[in-house]
Structure formats: structure tokens, C-alpha cells
């Protein structure tokens, strides 16, 4: 009987040791997986940054980053977008910030759900609006204005207001001209915001200090009126 108890005790000890080793191995395996995953993300971000930094041609930089998206499907989406947002918000190089804004405005998102796309879109919108408002480079602010209109087919009031603010207060004539054009493009997409955008364009056509901005705003308003007139005439025909 004593021998049986001893044998059972030894058996239980062996089982407990085995379980502990299994748990320890499982934890170690998880740590390794997390480490490898992090390394892959870091490698991907470094690859994107090296393209933004080293590729001499803008169109090739865009194509190379797009190729990474398409090659890795939706798993790469959040990593690449986050890398571009950081580049736009923090990088000291004007070229890198410009390219980051360009890519944020045009990259197709391969993500597993519409919710995931919307979540990343919000982050990208915030970064582009911040760049439009406060980037020290006229070139980057100009590209941010383009990106806000071109990427987001159904922009919200925050985007519209950012473009209106740029039209009213940006020191650069080029940025204000671009804001005029992007707001005009948005009128076609968002009829419910038509009044707000129209008021901003009318104000620019009358009071902007730049003759070029006033001219552009007036011409686009004229084109818009003619377009609306043609639509009405086509309805009556």
C-alpha cells in the first residue's frame, strides 16, 4: 500500500512538472510569435520609409508602396497607413511628408471589413487636416488639400470645414486656389453641404486678396450655374 502511494505521488509530481513545462513552453511560444510579428511590422514600416526617402521619382514611390499593399493584402493596411501618418505628422523632410500625404489620399485599402477601413480613414483624415492647417510647407498643405477631396468619396463636415478654413486663412495663394477647386469638386458629391461650400466660394470670389483665387472661384461658380441650368433644361425637354 505504501509503495502504491509512493508511486502515485511520483506520478502526480511528474504530471505537474509536465504541465508547468507545457505552460512555460506555450508562453515562450506566444512571446516568440509576438516578437516575430512586431519584427515583421517594423520591417514593413522600414521598407515603406525607405521608399519614401530614397526613391527619386514620386510616381515610382507611389507605385512601390501600392505594390506592397497588393502583395500583402489587408494584413499590411494598418501598418502602412500608420507609418504614413507618422511620416506626415513627424518627419522633418518636406518630400517625405508630401509623399505621405499623397499616398494617404490615394492608396486603396485592402482590409477585412468596412469598419476597419472607416477606422483607418478617420486616422488618415485627422492627419491630413492637421497637415493642411499647420504644416510649415506650402507644398505639403497643398497636397493635403488634394488628398482630402480625392480619397474620401463621402467626406464629412470636418473635411469641408478644413478646406473652407484653408481658403479663408492660408497664407499661400496656391493652397487657397487648390482649396477653391477641391471645394468645387465636393459640391458635386455632397448636395446637402452645397450652401456652405457655395457661400465660401462666393466670399472668395469677392474678397480674396489674390486676383488668381478670386478669378478661379468666380469661374467655378459660373461653371456650376451653367451646369445646373443645363440640368434644368434637360428635365423640361
Whether residues 104 and 162 share a domain: the answer is no
- Tell me: the pLDDT tens digits for 58-112? 888 878 887 776 655 555 677 788 889 999 999 999 999 999 999 888 775 555 5
* pLDDT score of 32: 53
- Sequence-distant contacts of 209-215: CB under 8 A, at least 24 apart: 210/173, 210/176, 210/177, 212/173, 212/177, 213/167, 213/173, 213/176, 213/177, 213/180
Alpha helices in 55-113 (DSSP H): 58-72, 77-90, 94-106
Range(s) of the domain holding residue 139: 46-152
| Residue of higher predicted confidence among 225 and 236 | 225
- Tell me: the pLDDT tens digits for 140-170? 999 999 999 876 655 578 889 999 999 999 9
Whether residues 95 and 188 share a domain: the answer is no
- On the CB side of 151, how many CA atoms lie within 13 Å of its CA? 26
CB-neighbour burial class of residue 118 (10 A; exposed 0-12, middle 13-18, buried 19+)? exposed
Whether residues 81 and 139 share a domain: the answer is yes
Asked if residues 157 and 193 have their Cβ atoms less than 8 Å apart, the reply is: yes
- Tell me: the pLDDT tens digits for 80-90? 888 899 999 99
If one counts the domains in the chain, the total is 2
- Can you tell me the distance from the alpha carbon of 197 to that of 184, in angstroms, rounded to the nearest whole number? 8
For residue 52, give every residue at least 6 positions away whose Cβ sits within 8 Å of its Cβ, in sequence order, or none.
61, 65, 87, 95, 96, 99, 100
- Tell me: the pLDDT tens digits for 120-140? 778 888 999 999 999 999 999
Whether residues 144 and 159 share a domain: the answer is no
- 49: which 3 cell numbers? 520609409
Whether residues 130 and 167 share a domain: the answer is no
- Cα radius of gyration (the chain): 27
Amino acid at each position: 500500500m505504501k509503495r502504491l502511494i509512493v508511486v502515485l505521488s511520483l506520478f502526480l509530481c511528474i504530471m505537474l512538472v509536465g504541465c508547468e513545462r507545457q505552460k512555460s513552453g506555450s508562453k515562450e511560444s506566444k512571446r516568440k510569435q509576438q516578437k516575430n510579428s512586431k519584427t515583421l511590422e517594423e520591417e514593413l514600416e522600414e521598407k515603406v520609409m525607405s521608399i519614401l526617402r530614397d526613391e527619386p521619382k514620386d510616381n515610382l514611390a507611389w507605385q512601390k508602396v501600392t505594390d506592397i499593399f497588393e502583395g500583402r493584402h489587408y494584413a499590411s493596411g494598418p501598418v502602412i497607413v500608420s507609418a504614413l501618418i507618422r511620416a506626415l505628422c513627424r518627419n522633418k523632410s518636406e518630400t517625405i511628408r508630401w509623399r505621405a500625404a499623397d499616398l494617404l489620399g490615394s492608396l486603396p485599402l485592402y482590409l477585412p471589413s468596412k469598419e476597419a477601413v472607416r477606422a483607418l480613414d478617420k486616422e488618415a483624415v485627422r492627419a491630413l487636416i492637421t497637415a493642411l492647417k499647420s504644416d510649415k510647407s506650402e507644398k505639403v498643405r497643398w497636397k493635403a488639400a488634394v488628398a482630402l477631396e480625392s480619397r474620401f468619396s463621402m467626406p464629412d463636415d470636418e473635411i469641408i470645414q478644413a478646406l473652407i478654413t484653408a481658403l479663408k486663412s492660408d497664407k499661400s495663394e496656391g493652397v487657397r486656389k487648390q482649396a477653391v477647386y477641391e471645394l468645387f469638386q465636393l459640391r458635386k458629391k455632397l448636395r446637402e453641404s452645397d450652401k456652405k461650400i457655395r457661400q465660401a466660394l462666393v466670399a472668395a470670389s469677392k474678397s480674396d486678396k489674390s486676383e488668381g483665387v478670386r478669378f478661379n472661384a468666380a469661374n467655378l461658380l459660373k461653371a456650376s450655374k451653367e451646369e445646373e441650368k443645363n440640368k434644368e433644361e434637360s428635365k423640361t425637354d
